[in-house]
Amino acid sequence: MSKSVDSGKLYYSISEVARMTGLEAYVLRYWEKEFPQLRPRKNRGGNRMYTQKDIDVINQIRHLRMNEKLTIAGARSRLTMKRSPEQAAGQTTIPAKAKTLIGQIREDIQHLLKLFP
């Protein structure tokens, strides 16, 4: 039942996406909480505005859950493995920054320990 839409629209409501994917709106809202890749924008009224990219992610999740019978955690990890090189590169800099910060904290603690014998 999952469809790729090419109607020229930039944004789709949650009811339109539910109809296109064959999923209930509450499932889409739940998946937003469980999958960081799925973050539709909200308008001023708080209504979700899904893009074609969001719909593609929903279709991937739906396939992993329904066809491959993965759990939410399994589908999440599978989607995480399919990150773009830019996303993967961005994530490798975080541990380096953390190591630097931990090193600085360690030095500060050692300095404080010398002050209080």
CA distance 117 to 70: 56
What are the pLDDT digits (tens) for 73-117?
Answer: 999 999 888 655 555 455 555 566 777 778 788 888 888 888 887
Region 1-82: CATH code:
1.10.1660.10
CA distance 34 to 110: 41
**Per-domain residue ranges of the chain:** 1-82, 85-117
Question: Angle at CA 80, nearest 5°, toward 83 and 52?
Answer: 65
Question: Structure tokens of 12?
Answer: 């789709």
pLDDT of residue 103: 78
User: How does strand 41-42 pair with strand 48-49?
Assistant: antiparallel
